[in-house]
Chains A and B, each alone.
Chain A
Amino acid sequence: MKKRLSLVLPVCLLVVLSLFTLHVGAQQTTIRFAVWDFSMSPEYQLVIDDFEAEYPDIKVEVIDIAAAEYPDKMTVMLAAGEEVDVFAVKDFASYSNYLHRNYLTPLNSYIEADGVDLSQYGSAIEYVMHEGQLMGFPYRSDIYVLYYNKDIFDRAGVPYPSNEMTWPEFREVAKKLTSGEGNEKIYGAYFHSWRSQIQCPILLTTDLTLVDGDYEFLRPAYELALAMQNEDKSVMSFAEIRTSNTHYRGLFESGRVGMLWMGTWFIGSLLIDEHDVNWGIAKSPHWPGTNPGSTVEGLTTLAINSKSKKKDAAWKLVSYFGGEKGAKIFASRGVLPALRTPEVLEIYTSAPGFPEGGAEALMTAETTVELPPSVYSNAIDKMLSEEHSMIMTGQISLDAGLKNMAERAKEIKEEWW
C-alpha cells in the first residue's frame, strides 16, 4: 500500500503539471525577437519582463546576436525564412536593405487602430516612412553630443566647453588640453576611426546628403581633422586607432581624452561602466553658419517581419518598446528613447550619475542623419569608409580623396540595376 502511494503521488503531480502547462501553452503566443547585444543591455530584459507581466498570453523569446554581426546575420536569417517576428533595425543602411527586400510590415493600420501620436517622435521618423507608410517603430533615438573630461580641463586651466562651441574653437581647445607622450599622452580630443566622425557634423551646413555624390562640402571638416591629427597632434592618429584596435570607450574612460564627439548611447555606458572619469556633456560643436545645437541624429526602430504569422502580438511588443512604458524604462537606464515627452526626459536626466546641466545639451536645433536610406547605402558607405581611411592615413591627398569619392559614387549609381 505504502509502495503504491509513493508511485501514485508523483504520477498525479506529473499529470497536474502537464495539464497546467498544456493549458497555458494553448493560449500563449510566443514571439521571437531579434536584437543585438541583448545580454549586455539589461534594459531590454526589464522592458520584456514588464511586457510579459502586462500581457501574460504573450511570451517573448529573444535571439541575441553580437552587434558586429547583427546586420549580416539578420539578413541571412530573414532570407532563409527563419522564424523571427520582431527585429531591431540598427541603422538606415540596414533599414533600406530590409525595405528593398520586402521584409518590413507597414505599420499604419496598427498605428491608426491604437491612436498613436507620431508627432511626439521627432522629425527623424520621416526617414523610416515609405510611400506614406511607417515601416519601423522608433524606440531609441540618439543624438551626437560632446563629452568632456572635467579633470583634464581643470588641470589645463581651460573653461569647460559651452553649448555654443564651434568646430574651429574645438580645435583650439583641444590643442590646449593636449600633453604628455607615448602611453601617458593626454589627447585634447579624439576622433574615432568611423568615417562619420569627420563626415557627419558638416552635413548640417549643406542640403546635400552623403549619397548625393558631391563631396566638396566635406573639405573644411577634413582640413580641420587632418590639421588636428598631423599639426596639432591633439587627436590620436587614424592609423594608430586602426592598427591597435583602440576603442573610444576604453580610451575616454581611462581618462586620456579631453573631448569626444559621440552619440548619446555612450551616456548609458558611462553610467554603468566602472571608471574614475569626472565627465560632463555639452551640445555638439557646430560649424559657423549653423545654429548651436544642430547635430546628427540616429533612429533605432523595431520592425515586424512581413512573413510573421503573429503580427498582432508582435505589434503589441513593438508599441510597448516604443511607447511610454518602454521609454521610461530605457530612460531610467541612461538610454535615450525615441519618445521624448517632458516626463521621459525628466527620468532620463535624473538618472544617478547623469552629469549636472546635461539636460540642456540634449536640446537640439536642426538635425540630420548620417546616411539617409537608399538602395546605394551599403555600397556608398563602404566606398566612403575606404576613401576616408586613405585620406586620414595620408595615402592620398584630400583633393584626390574627394575626387575619388565623387567618381566612385557616380560609378556605383551608374552600375546599379
Chain B
Amino acid sequence: MSTANIAKRKSRSLRQARRLTAYAFLLPNILGFVTLTLIPIVAAFGLSFLDWDFANPAKFVGLRNFMRLARDSGFKISLKNTIYYSAVSVPLTIVFALFLAALLNQRVRGIKFFRTIYFFPEISSIIAVAVVWNMLYHPTMGPINSFLRSIGIDNPPGWTASVKWAMPAVILMSVWKQVGYYTVIFLAGLQGIPEQLYEAATIDGANSWQKFRYITLPMLSPTTFLVSILLVINSFKVFDQIVIMTDGGPGRATNVLVYYIYYQAFLLFRFGYASAIATVLFALVLIVTIVQFRMEKKWVHYTMM
C-alpha cells in the first residue's frame, strides 16, 4: 500500500469522525427544537381544524375556526392592537438603540459603567419591571405624573388606566426594557466599521452628520436588518408585560394576539380556535419576515473589506 493511499483513507475516517462529533454537538439542540418547538407547531396547525376543549372528544370542523376569525370582534381588536404595538415599538427601539450605541461607542472614562447601565433592564425580570413601571405610571400618585404636573401639565395622561394611553404606556416600558440588548448589537456593528473610512471622510471635509449619514448608516445596514427582523418577530409575541401591567385592558385596549390566544385556550378552553389564531399569527410573522428579506437588497449593503 502506498503512503498516499494510507493518507487518503486516514483523512476520510478523520472527516467522518469529525462529522459525527459535529452531529453529537448539534443533537441536544435539535432534540430540544423538535420536541419543544417543531412538534407543537405542527400539532397547533392540526388542532386548528378541530373543535376541542381538552376534555371531551375532539370534533373535526374543517375551516370553521378560520371562518369564525373573520366575524370575531375580539380577534380583530387584538390584531389591530398587535400591529399598533409593532408599528410603534419597532422603529422607536431601533432609533433609541442606534442613538445609545453611537453615544456608547466613544472612548471616554467610565464608558463601561454606562454600557452596563443601559444593559441592565435587559437582564431584569420582566415581571418585576412591569410591576415597578405600573407604580411609576400611577395616575395620581406616580412619579411620572407628579413630574408632568410640576412642569405645568394639569391633565397628565391616565397611562394604564386610560384606553388611549395604555398602549403607549406598554410600548414605552417595552422599549426601555429591550433597548439595551439591541444597543449591544448596534455597538458591535459600529465597532466593525473600519476607522480609515472616517479618516478619509475627515480629510475630504465631511462633517459629523455627513459621516453618520454616508458611512455609519450604510455600513451598519446589515446590523439594522438583523435588529429589525428580531424586533418585528418579538413584537408580535408581546404578552408578559401586558398581562402584568394592564391584563389586556382597560376594556380591550391592550388585548394583543398572544393574549387573545391565551384567553381562548385557557379561559374558554377552545383549543382549536386558539390554534387557528396561532396559525394566523405564524403566517403573519412569516409573511412580514419574507417581505423584509425581499426588501433587503434595496437598502442593505454588504461590503467586503
Residues of A within 8 A of B (CB): 72, 75, 78-79, 97, 100-103, 239-240, 242-244, 378-379, 382, 386-387, 389-390, 393, 395-396, 408, 411, 415, 417
A395/B163 in contact, CB under 8 A: yes
Asked if residues B139 and A417 are in contact (CB atoms below 8 Å), the reply is no
Q: How far is the CB of B40 from chain A (nearest CB, A)?
A: 16
CA distance A211 to B133 in the complex (A): 36
Across the interface, do B250 and A411 meet the contact criterion of CB distance under 8 Å? no
Query: Is B80 interfacial (CB-CB < 8 Å)?
Result: no
Q: Which of A72, A97, A417 contacts B51 (CB 8 A)?
A: A417
Between A and B, 19 residue pairs with Cβ closer than 8 Å are: A75-B266, A75-B269, A101-B56, A239-B161, A240-B140, A242-B161, A243-B137, A243-B138, A378-B267, A386-B249, A386-B251, A389-B251, A390-B163, A390-B250, A393-B250, A395-B162, A395-B251, A408-B73, A415-B71
**In the complex, chain B residues 257-297 whose Cβ is within 8 Å of any chain A Cβ:** 263, 266-269
Residues in A whose Cβ lies below 8 Å from that of B64: 417
| Bound-state Cα–Cα, A100 to B270, Å | 13
Considering only CB atoms, which chain A residue lies closest to B134 in the complex? A243
Contact A378 B161 (CB under 8 A): no
Further contacts, 6 of them, CB under 8 A, given A393-B158, A393-B250: A75-B54, A101-B53, A239-B161, A240-B140, A386-B249, A390-B251
Q: Complex: how many Å from CA A415 to CA B74?
A: 12
A75 vs B55: C-alpha distance when bound (angstroms): 10
Distance in angstroms between the alpha carbons of A415 and B137 in the assembled complex:
37
Alpha-carbon distance between A378 and B267 when the two chains are bound, in angstroms: 7
Q: What residues of B have a CB within 8 angstroms of the CB of A389 in the complex?
A: 249-251
Contacts of B269 in A (CB 8 A): 75, 97, 101
Bound-complex Cα distance A75 to B61 (A): 24
Q: Which residue of A lies closest to B252 (CB)?
A: A386
In the A-B complex, the 10 residue pairs with the closest CB atoms? A101-B55, A239-B161, A390-B251, A395-B163, A79-B54, A243-B138, A389-B250, A386-B251, A378-B267, A389-B249
Q: Given B55, B71, B137, B162, which contacts A102 in the complex, CB threshold below 8 Å?
A: B55
- In-complex Cβ contact of A244 among B55, B141, B266 (8 A): B141
Q: How far is the CB of B24 from chain A (nearest CB, A)?
A: 34
A396 and B253 CA atoms in complex are apart in Å by 12
- Docked Cα-Cα span, A240 to B137, in Å, equals 11
Q: Which residues of A contact B10 (CB under 8 A)?
A: none
- Identity of the chain A residue whose Cβ is nearest the Cβ of B264 in the assembled complex: A379
Proximity bits, B49-81, A CB within 8 Å = 1, else 0: 001011110000000100010011100000000
Write out the residue numbers on chain B whose beta carbons fall within 8 Å of the beta carbon of A75: 54, 266, 269
Complex alpha-carbon distance, A411 and B161, angstroms:
26
How many angstroms from the CA of A72 to the CA of B268 in the assembled complex? Answer: 11
Q: Does the CB pair B73–A103 fall under 8 Å?
A: no
Which of B139, B250, B252 gathers most chain A CB within 10 Å?
A: B250
Distance A97 CA – B268 CA, assembled complex (angstroms) = 9
- Would you list which residues of chain B between 18 and 41 have a CB under 8 Å from chain A? none
Which residues of chain B are within 8 angstroms of A78 by Cβ–Cβ distance? 55
* Interface flag for B89 (CB, 8 Å): no
Question: What is the minimal beta-carbon distance from A229 to any residue of chain B, in angstroms?
Answer: 13
Neighbouring B residues of A102 by C-beta, 8 Å = 55-56
With A and B bound together, what is the CA distance between A239 and B142 in angstroms?
Answer: 13
Let me know if B160 is at the binding interface, CB within 8 A: yes
Q: In whole angstroms, how far apart are the Cα atoms of A97 and B54 in the complex? A: 11
Q: Looking at the complex, which one of B137, B162, B266, B268 makes contact with A379 (CB distance below 8 Å)? A: B268
Chain B positions near chain A (C-beta within 8 angstroms)? 51, 53-56, 64, 68, 71-73, 134, 137-142, 158-163, 248-252, 263, 266-269
Whether B139 contacts A101 by the Cβ 8 Å rule is no
Identify the closest chain A residue to B253 (Cβ): A395
Contacts of A240 in B (CB 8 A): 139-140
Let me know if B252 and A415 touch, CB within 8 A: no
Asked if A382 and B263 make an inter-chain contact with CB atoms under 8 angstroms apart, the answer reads yes
Bound form: Cα–Cα A224–B95 in Å: 48
Nearest chain-B residue to A415 (Cβ)? B68
A379–B260 CA distance with the chains assembled, in angstroms: 12
Closest to B273 in A: A415
Considering only CB atoms, which chain B residue lies closest to A239 in the complex? B161
What residues of A have a CB within 8 angstroms of the CB of B266 in the complex? 72, 75
- Say whether B250 contacts A395, CB under 8 Å: yes
What separation, in Å, do the CA atoms of A243 and B136 have in the docked complex? 10
Inter-subunit contact A79/B55 (CB<8 Å):
yes
Residue of A nearest to B246 (CB): A242
Max count, chain A CB within 10 A of own CB: residue among B138, B248, B263: B138
Return chain B residues, CB-CB under 8 Å to A239.
139, 158, 161
Report Cα–Cα, A78/B53, bound state, in Å.
Answer: 13
Q: What is the minimal beta-carbon distance from B243 to any residue of chain A, in angstroms?
A: 12
Q: Are B161 and A393 in contact (CB under 8 A)?
A: yes
- The residue of chain A having its C-beta at the shortest distance from the C-beta of B255 within the complex is A386
Check A243–B139 contact: CB distance below 8 A.
yes
Contacts of A411 in B (CB 8 A): 72-73
For B137, the closest partner residue in chain A by CB is A243
Distance in angstroms from B134 CB to nearest chain A CB is 7
Q: How far is the CB of B169 from chain A (nearest CB, A)?
A: 11
CA–CA, A379 and B273, complex, Å: 14
- The residue of chain A having its C-beta at the shortest distance from the C-beta of B54 within the complex is A79
Q: How far is the CB of B63 from chain A (nearest CB, A)?
A: 14
Min CB–CB distance A91 → chain B (angstroms): 14
The reply to whether B163 and A382 contact each other, CB–CB distance below 8 Å, is no
> In whole Å, how far is A87's beta carbon from the nearest beta carbon of chain B?
15
A103 touches B55 (CB 8 A): yes
A417 CB contacts on chain B under 8 angstroms: 51, 64
B residues near A415, Cβ cutoff 8 Å: 68, 71-72
- Selected from A243, A382, A386, the residue in CB contact (under 8 A) with B267 is A382
A279 to B51: give the CA distance in the assembly, Å. Answer: 52
**Which residues of A have CB within 8 Å of B68?**
415
Which residues of chain A have C-beta atoms less than 8 A from B138's C-beta? 243-244
In the assembled complex, the Cα of A103 lies from the Cα of B53 at a distance in Å of 13
Q: Would you give the shortest CB distance from A191 to chain B, in whole angstroms?
A: 16
C-alpha gap A59/B269 in the complex (Å): 33
Nearest CB in chain B: distance from A407 CB, A: 9
Instruction: Give CA–CA (A359, B236) in the complex, Å.
Output: 56
How far does the Cβ of A103 sit from chain B's closest Cβ, in whole Å? 7
Chain B min CB distance to A205 (Å): 26
Once bound together, how far apart are the Cα atoms of A325 and B272, in whole Å? 46
CB proximity of A399 to chain B, nearest CB, Å = 15
Docked Cα-Cα span, A156 to B56, in Å, equals 59
The interface residues of chain A lying within 8 Å CB-to-CB of B158 are 239, 393
